[in-house]
Amino acid sequence: MINALLQGIFSLIIALVNIILSPIDLLINQFLPGLGTAFSYITNFFNYLGSVVSWVISYTGVSSELLTIIVDLIVFIYTVPYMIHAIKLALKWYNTLKP
């Protein structure tokens, strides 16, 4: 009985959120470019950065091994704390919603 009531409340909340957010979704679909266009812009941007970065690296004399280590370290430093936080949050939600 309580489970059915909770499911009904969640369904109502989801429906209301969809009704509230549908005009925003319509505006996003109308004024933002398509996904293919966005990916082509991103690809062009990274190609441009790649040409500039390679010139700067060759000018400064930084070795590719050192650059690889720096990039790996930065990715590790930014990724691991967010992943641990996401796992903790998922476990907290699971324990909260567990019957």
pLDDT at 75: 93
Tell me the per-residue pLDDT of 8-60, one tens digit each, with 9 for 90 and over.
888 999 998 889 988 888 888 787 777 778 788 889 998 898 888 777 777 88
Question: What is the Cα–Cα distance from 92 to 22, expressed in whole angstroms?
Answer: 30
Q: What does pTM read for this prediction?
A: 0.37
Residue of 99, 73, 90 whose CA lies nearest to 2: 99
Tell me the per-residue pLDDT of 47-78, one tens digit each, with 9 for 90 and over.
898 888 777 777 888 787 888 899 899 999 99
Q: What is the mean pLDDT of the chain?
A: 86
